[in-house]
Amino acid sequence: MSQQTVQLGWSREQMAQRCAQDIKDGSYVNLGIGIPEKVAQYVPAGREVIYHTENGLLGMGTEPSAEELDPDLINAGKKPVTAIDGAAYFHHGDSFAMIRGKHIDICVLGAMQVSEQGDLANWSTGAPDAIPAVGGAMDLVAGVKTIYIITQHTTKTGAAKILPECTFPLTGQGVVNRIYSDLAVIDVTEKGLVLIELAPNISFDYVQQKTGVSLINALKQE
């Protein structure tokens, strides 16, 4: 970064990097398609984390080399992956028993909208001409113990994505625990949404302006 540049907020990579700090040693983790996938590369050294992919693998490794590539070894996004030493394969019934049965510790997903109560909408805009496709998102939010969301704070047109109520069809009700946006880290609590961390050179007031609901500022000096 040049000295003239003033960084405003977090990049997509930095959002993944920030989220990765909260993945504890020994966790079983499911990463959604897209930015959440990047979290794996930023988990601090020394922590042993097992990645679950819902199409039947615990112990997902990195991208394969050309020699390692096997079209029968893919992740939920249908991209080729590898299996680590100590990995296990299983069928879809068992895979979703792991999810629904609350055996997976953390799932990181993207979002279209999140509500004040932690409702999540991330599978459909409800447009009448769109072909609906849900995949495993509803099972993950219903069953995984902790749900982290990585998302831009607003839409491309600047509209708030964190709202009093989701206007898009829900993926799950009251399921989100923490939001990592390009502007801040926000916890969903019984008292409301609590801002616990600001991205570089971002003020609380600025985040509040871009959010559809009142935020509680945990950084405020009493």
Partner 1 sequence: MIDKRVTSCAAAVAKIKDGDTVMIGGFGEAGSPIELIHALIDHGAKNLTVVNNNTGSGRVGLAALIENGQVAKMICSYPRTANSTVFPELYHAGKIELELVPQGTLAERIRAGGAGVPAFYTPTSVGTPLAAGKESRTFEEQEYVMERAIKADFALIQAKQADRYGNLTFNKTARNFAPIMAMAATHTLVQTNEMVELGEIDPENVITPGIFVNQIVEVSNPLQESTLVKEGVVYP
Residues labelled as active-site residues: 54
Which of 14, 21, 89, 217 is in the footprint of partner 1 by CB under 8 A? 89
Please give the Cα distance from 198 to 196 (Å, whole number).
7
Query: CB atoms < 10 A from the CB of 217, how many?
Result: 15
- Return the closest-CA partner of residue 14 out of 34, 48, 37, 38: 38
Which of 47, 91, 159, 214 is in the footprint of partner 1 by CB under 8 A? 91
Residue 25, classed as helix, strand or coil, is coil
Q: Does residue 64 interact with partner 1 by CB under 8 A?
A: no
Decide whether 6 or 131 has the Cβ nearer to partner 1.
131
Q: Does residue 136 interact with partner 1 by CB under 8 A?
A: yes
Which of 143, 178, 186, 195 is in the footprint of partner 1 by CB under 8 A? 143
Which of 58, 73, 149, 186 is in the footprint of partner 1 by CB under 8 A? 73
Stretch that binds partner 1, among 4-12, 163-171, 182-190, 195-203 (CB under 8 A): 163-171
User: What is the nearest approach in angstroms of partner 1 to the Cβ of residue 159?
Assistant: 22
Which of 8, 134, 159, 219 is in the footprint of partner 1 by CB under 8 A? 134
- Return the closest-CA partner of residue 107 out of 27, 17, 181, 169: 27
* DSSP assignment letter at 19: H
Binding to partner 1 by CB under 8 A, coded x per residue (else -) over 106-125, reads -------------x----x-
Contact 120, 80 (CB under 8 A): no
User: What is the nearest approach in angstroms of partner 1 to the Cβ of residue 17?
Assistant: 28
Indicate the pairing of strand 120-121 with strand 178-180. unpaired
Q: Is 21 exposed, middle or buried (0-12, 13-18, 19+ CB in 10 A)?
A: middle
Which of 135, 165, 200, 219 is in the footprint of partner 1 by CB under 8 A? 135
Assigned token pair, 66: 């050309």
Q: Does residue 176 interact with partner 1 by CB under 8 A?
A: no
Q: How many angstroms separate the Cα of 143 from the Cα of each of 3, 37, 98, 114?
A: 46, 19, 8, 18
Residues belonging to the chain: 222
Residues in touch with partner 1 (CB under 8 A): 53-57, 70-74, 78, 83, 89-93, 95-96, 99-100, 119, 124, 129, 131-139, 142-143, 169-173
